[in-house]
Structure 1
């Protein structure tokens, strides 16, 4: 009873002080706290426990139209809950500038995901790695080795050479298969895929797929599979405790695809290391090595990064970094979907 009486007296005293204005500083603090809460981006309606807005994103409406309709309702900036992750959605140039320019460092990191772990050499791929010392260091090396104007000029002859070779292949196809109509059918999906693959592989690794080489088809297939699993929705990324179920078989697919790609890239890396360590072939390969991104990166990483630094070996860093442009390759290869029908190529 004494304790209850003390509580009643304490609460009554607080109410009296509040009435007479002696708690003005506390009320101001609460108001400021509420104002800060009010300044947070609004959360879209329709969130469910545990899964958040996943049921909306997984609906029949395509994502960009869904987000556009939400922007019309909730404004140019709002948040979604995708499982345990909160996602900020911005829908106009001013908000995008605030996020990507004014406050770019705040938004520079990336959430951890299964694809980054299994297909990015356990976050050694700087394109998928979280923002931090490792990301900044490797990005600086890659910008110096690959993004300089001088290096891009050195790669110009490769692009020209591959386009010319591809045009010659089309001409040879026309000469071989032309009939009385002087017209042949060309599979533009295959032609465009071969062109882009040869161009990227030659610039990155110094290798070139021959027309009859089966490794090119296997490599292209692995890259397409890479893009499919990378762009797919992995349930365990949103709800981590579901990973042991491997819903959709994404973990199995990622491990298989990562192994196939690593076999090809690792073979090129070992071949490049042998050539770089061989004094007899070093001079004749110098000009070619200067335009090979893998060789330049291998030299740069060995000079600046000690073995096992950041928890990654030199080979892991080089292979993971070379995989970044290869990721872009699978995006480019999706353009082949534009060619719904095989166009005719007419000789003149």
Structure 2
């Protein structure tokens, strides 16, 4: 009995000693501010709620914009200050250029060799150079512009036909924009089209969509295990089996595509210019480096990373416009004035549509596709904002917090596109990184140029061709999902009506479409 009493007395004493020792060591090491207490094993995980970027922003509001956290066994540096973000992503760009080791990188990143998860070094630099100069260069994107024009005109044509059959249509914009974006990316990647063909490839498209969904679900389930090695060990067999299963399907899908392209694509009219044909040409020149795994890893990064994030951004734009009809009218008037009403908008018009660009910038500020930038990891000890940051610390830059900081932005929760008028560059500011929806530094998203081209063209086209309004008098629900990329919690449903001045142009789209050979 006495032993049992002594045990119960010792436990709280040991806990107090642990917490005090941890706190004193933290001060002695000059680590950044941290919430107290840091619990054994789990650290600060008990403080985290969805959405994570908002929880972390609230913690920074209490403890400071440079925050040191313990996620299980992982040391985490959370940044929500423009100056600290610039310090990490500019001054210490190379030092923070690594990615932390996680299950997604091990399995979906082909053992950390795929571009998004590869550590900083010669291999990553080569893939970055391929992406920037061979695949996503302005010249390459220009050469594929007809694909984007054709797909957005086919989308507007489908909407026109539906409206013609039953006026005042209600449409699921998320679904329509996803189908459009899916076709754009798969055609640019390898001359493949899934939606809108009479031959029908919907089963294959659904297979790919299922792979994307299962990839996201696997990543979500692994997030806690990534922070707690002992938990990963306990559930390792089940987790690894799930990741291996999803990756097998991902790999097989892309391998079939490569094999099919090898057989048919090189004699395909579009195939000579697609991303996949570029990579296979590089493989022909240097097969030892440009293996099928390298090509599949880069292809998956472009497809998985490019589709959903662009769809989410376009859906947020349209949601904000429907809740702010005067802004929508102003954008439509700009297009009418600068493009005219006798033809449909094309990519060459987009640079003139400055107010539309302001709308997109403001949406990216309020709803960045990656509210928390993909994590970085320090390769050496360093000092950030006067605090010591140990080697191996995971860096989380809170783009959402930076872009909602009231010290930088006037009324940050308000949708005010005019705040960007006269500012050519996203994030233009006197000091620090105040807006980084595509990241910054060496790990900045290489697909930014492509994403903005597609988003601008799609939005300009549907705003030009149709009058849009909410399905009822209530404002569009702007609730956010708790996922990492923070899409809208509910798909956007909207009413639309074809503008009378564009009926002739929209009715003739299908007749004017060039006949292209698709795999």
What TM-score does the superposition give when structure 1 sets the normalisation length? 0.75
Q: Cα offset for 1:125?
A: 1.4
2:281 is matched with which residue: 277, 299, 307?
A: 299
Q: Give the stretch that moved more between structures: 217-226 or 47-56.
A: 217-226
Structure-1 residue corresponding to 2:496: 345
Q: Cα offset for 1:191?
A: 1.2
Instruction: Tell me the distance in 1 between the aligned counterparts of 2:90 and 2:225.
Output: 31
Q: Give the stretch that moved more between structures: 225-234 or 90-99.
A: 225-234
Contact 1:121 1:316 in 2 (8 A): yes
Q: List per-residue Cα deviations over 1:251-302 (Å, max 9, x = no partner).
A: 44433332333232211111122247xxxxx5x43x5234210110122244
Contact 1:289 1:296 in 2 (8 A): no
2:207 matched to 1:218?
yes
Question: What SS does structure 2 have at the residue aligned with 1:343?
Answer: strand
2:275 matched to 1:124?
no
Contact 2:148 2:184 in 1 (8 A): yes
Larger Rg: 1
Instruction: Tell me the distance in 1 between the aligned counterparts of 2:231 and 2:51.
Output: 25
Distance 1:38 1:252, change over 3 A: closer
Instruction: Tell me the distance in 2 between the aligned counterparts of 1:294 and 1:133.
Output: 22
Structure-2 residue corresponding to 1:273: 262
Q: Cα offset for 1:37?
A: 5.2
Structure-2 residue corresponding to 1:31: none
Structure-2 residue corresponding to 1:317: 294
1:238-253 superposed matches below 5 A: 238-246=227-235, 250-253=239-242
Distance 1:233 1:47, change over 3 A: farther
CA RMSD of aligned residues (A): 2.8
Q: List per-residue Cα deviations over 1:135-179 (Å, max 9, x = no partner).
A: 11222122211232111111211111110111122223334x42x
Distance 1:250 1:234, change over 3 A: farther
1:1-348 superposed matches below 5 A: 39-57=30-48, 59=49, 62-175=51-164, 177-178=165-166, 182-211=167-196, 212-213=200-201, 214-231=203-220, 233-246=222-235, 250-275=239-264, 282=266, 284-285=267-268, 288-304=270-286, 306-307=287-288, 309=289, 314-328=291-305, 329-334=307-312, 338=488, 340=491, 342-347=493-498, 348=500
Q: List per-residue Cα deviations over 1:3-48 (Å, max 9, x = no partner).
A: xxxxxxxxxxxxxxxxxxxxxxxxxxxxxxx9x9554423332211
Instruction: Tell me the distance in 2 between the aligned counterparts of 1:244 and 1:70.
Output: 30
Distance 1:77 1:248, change over 3 A: farther
Instruction: Tell me the distance in 2 between the aligned counterparts of 1:183 and 1:271.
Output: 42
Gaps of 5+ in 2: 1-24, 316-486, 501-519
Q: Give the stretch that moved more between structures: 140-149 or 184-193.
A: 184-193
Distance 1:79 1:301, change over 3 A: farther
Which one has a larger percent helix, Structure 1 or Structure 2? 1
Q: List per-residue Cα deviations over 1:107-127 (Å, max 9, x = no partner).
A: 000111111112222222111
How many residue pairs match? The answer is 296
Instruction: Tell me the distance in 2 between the aligned counterparts of 1:249 and 1:192.
Output: 35
Contact 1:226 1:330 in 2 (8 A): no
Question: What SS does structure 2 have at the residue aligned with 1:234?
Answer: helix
Q: Relative CO higher for 1 or 2, CA cutoff 8 Å, sep ≥ 6?
A: 2
Q: List per-residue Cα deviations over 1:179-220 (Å, max 9, x = no partner).
A: xxx333333232111111111111112211143422112212
Q: Cα offset for 1:341?
A: 5.1
Gaps of 5+ in 1: 1-33, 277-281
Contact 1:302 1:314 in 2 (8 A): no
Contact 2:147 2:187 in 1 (8 A): yes
Structure-2 residue corresponding to 1:23: none
Question: What SS does structure 1 have at the residue aligned with 2:75?
Answer: strand
Instruction: Tell me the distance in 2 between the aligned counterparts of 1:247 and 1:161.
Output: 47
Instruction: Tell me the distance in 1 between the aligned counterparts of 2:79 and 2:218.
Output: 26
